[in-house]
Amino acid sequence: MFDLVIRDAILLDGLGAPPKRGGVAVKDGRIVEIGRILGASKVTIDADGLALMPGIVDNHTHYDAQITWDPWASPSPGLGVTTAVIGNCGFTIAPCRPADRELVMKNLTQVEGMSLDVLRAGIRWEFESVPQYLDMLERMGSALNLAAFAGHSSIRTYVMGDAATERAATPTEISQMRSLLLEAMQAGAVGFSTSTSPAHNGGGGKPMPSRLADDAELRTLVGCLREAGRGVFMLTKGGHTRIPFLEELARDSTRPVIVAALLHNSTNPDSVFNDLDAIGDAAARGRRLVGAVSCCPLSMDFTLQSPYVFEGLESWRPALPLKGDAFKSKLKERQFRDALREEIARPAHFRLFNGEWDKVQVIESKNKAAEQRSVAELAQGRDPLDTMLDLALAEDLDTVFCALLLNSDEAAVGRMLKHPASLVSLSDAGAHLTFFNDAGFGLHLLGHWVRKRGELTLADAAWRLTGQPAALFGIRSRGALKVGYHADLFLFDPARVNRGPRRRVFDLPGGHPRLTTDPVGVHGVWVNGTRVVGEKGPLQVDALPGQLLRQFAVN
């Protein structure tokens, strides 16, 4: 007797094979038969031509904090995700000494747009080391499977304290970081993550700790993966980090390297393709480099109280540590504004905001006539930066803007998604909760890029969301419809699948707001054979079925 049979589905195997009509039988959390299923089953679902694929592997999330108070990792399972990789960009919450908790939370508040009140109310601090953190996650359980990176910035803070955001490490400190990373790998971390991106600033506007690492530190730490014999290195790179250096790290460590965040910039349209081609060339030389791209346009809601959009600019630095009236005075300064204007006008290799004022809209203002209009329109011949700042200052910085920043050129994004060196990634689920929400990236890939634009086949998209990341991360027996594999399953209607519009809900600890998005055309999600999402959304389950993944393939 099977536990579950899903009959008469269009099967997408997650490995890119052409779709086949058939069924899948599940017993004890595993796929036990595929094709024409004859045996009896406790539960049978007639899919009637819906598509069935492995559950989505979201390889770029920041659920490290949220997962400690929300084992559902909301909203990801409802959006087809059955495995989430946490701890990207080096921003983890372990290891952490009790005395550094406030510092780590302030960093997350700044760099990932998480509310400090939410973090203070929400995080369960029942750990100090990475192994203890992983044990806690295992004890708590989760609705989906989790794989966790060991994060550079946390390791650096643990070893160097406040100096982590100020200087290069000494050889002794590097060797202490090395021990911590090896300990994390031994305990079951999926790899090592870091960031060299100037967009990544922590508490008080200081750079995130990993940005202070020199090449020697990076070489030593990535080298740990070679010693561990497994693991992935991921980094979100600043413009100054060159692909040839990353290729050296891949060669010396013999491990896969994921290069993020490759987003298309309409004002410098070739830059991202130069990176992808360089990554592809390195791959042709036998290095395992992939470029992390996004299938979603990057747009952000923001107010000038927390203007993530501008915080990576060199000329914004004088404003970064300021609060209240001092901050407002800075925004008024002519010299400050001139420097901003000058920098935004300069071409850049990678920058979130590139002076496209026609793509910055007013969403909420006391001046209702300004809503839904772009800053370029409102400027009417005045300078747009002055227009935006003056409007915000006149409304005590409460004005809500939405900026369409990157990835807005669909022809270019289509080429990036099909590039042989690319990995579909960058949902950033769990972070930037008030700015944007791309946790539904998989539904967007299937609805927009497959059905609406026809840029990818259903089989190719399914591979990019499942089999490709599972193989890259060494996630065993998942990411494919295969006999013996874990029954992580996603049933959807290919004629309707999509992500709904984002909407604001107030359900974070303390009643704080976040943006979320509803699924369209999702009929069911199973994690290790347990149904966690039904026809009408997430289900009550007796026991959380997700597993903390700690054993990875030596690939």
CB 116 within 8 A of CB 124: no
Classify each residue of 426-447 as buried b or exposed e, where b means 16 or more C-beta atoms within 10 Å of its C-beta.
bbbbbbbbbbbbbbbbbbbbbb
- For residues 150 and 398, give the distance between their C-alpha atoms in angstroms, rounded to a whole number: 37
The residue among 44 and 241 lying less far from Zn ion, judged by its C-beta, is: 241
β-strands 498-508, 145-151: how paired? unpaired
> Least CB distance from residue 388 to Zn ion, whole Å?
26
Query: For residue 158, how many C-alpha atoms fall within 13 Å in the half-sphere facing its CB?
Result: 25
**Candidate segments 19-27, 80-88, 303-311, 541-549, binder of Zn ion by CB under 5 A:** 80-88
> Least CB distance from residue 341 to Zn ion, whole Å?
29
Q: Which candidate, 417, 407, 265, places its Cα nearest to that of 350?
A: 265
**Candidate segments 4-12, 46-54, 89-97, 403-411, binder of Zn ion by CB under 5 A:** 89-97
> Least CB distance from residue 195 to Zn ion, whole Å?
8
CB 54 within 8 A of CB 145: no
> Least CB distance from residue 240 to Zn ion, whole Å?
18
The residue among 308 and 357 lying less far from Zn ion, judged by its C-beta, is: 308
> Least CB distance from residue 333 to Zn ion, whole Å?
32
The residue among 91 and 353 lying less far from Zn ion, judged by its C-beta, is: 91
Phi, psi of 161 (to 5 degrees): 60, -140
> Least CB distance from residue 222 to Zn ion, whole Å?
18
Positions 278 through 307 that interact with Zn ion (CB under 5 A): none
Pick the binder of Zn ion from 37, 51, 52, 89 (CB under 5 A): 89
The residue among 37 and 190 lying less far from Zn ion, judged by its C-beta, is: 190
Question: Under the criterion CB under 5 A, does residue 59 sit at the interface with Zn ion?
Answer: no
HEC-encoded secondary structure of 225-237: HHHHCCCEEEEEC
**Candidate segments 4-12, 66-74, 82-90, 92-100, binder of Zn ion by CB under 5 A:** 82-90
- For residues 37 and 25, give the distance between their C-alpha atoms in angstroms, rounded to a whole number: 7
**Candidate segments 88-96, 125-133, 310-318, 383-391, binder of Zn ion by CB under 5 A:** 88-96
Binders of Zn ion: how many residues, by CB under 5 A? 2
The residue among 94 and 459 lying less far from Zn ion, judged by its C-beta, is: 94
Pick the binder of Zn ion from 59, 74, 76, 88 (CB under 5 A): 88
**Candidate segments 86-94, 125-133, 356-364, 519-527, binder of Zn ion by CB under 5 A:** 86-94
The token pair at 402 is: 């939405």
**Candidate segments 87-95, 186-194, 320-328, 410-418, binder of Zn ion by CB under 5 A:** 87-95
CB 177 within 8 A of CB 156: yes
- For residues 103 and 121, give the distance between their C-alpha atoms in angstroms, rounded to a whole number: 15
The residue among 235 and 470 lying less far from Zn ion, judged by its C-beta, is: 235
Strand positions, DSSP E, 343-494: 360-364, 400-406, 422-424, 489-492
The residue among 88 and 361 lying less far from Zn ion, judged by its C-beta, is: 88
Positions 223 through 262 that interact with Zn ion (CB under 5 A): none
Classify each residue of 455-480 as buried b or exposed e, where b means 16 or more C-beta atoms within 10 Å of its C-beta.
bbebbbbbbbbbbbbbbbbbbeebbb
Phi, psi of 301 (to 5 degrees): -85, 135
The residue among 50 and 89 lying less far from Zn ion, judged by its C-beta, is: 89
Name the site residues for Zn ion (rule: CB under 5 A).
88-89
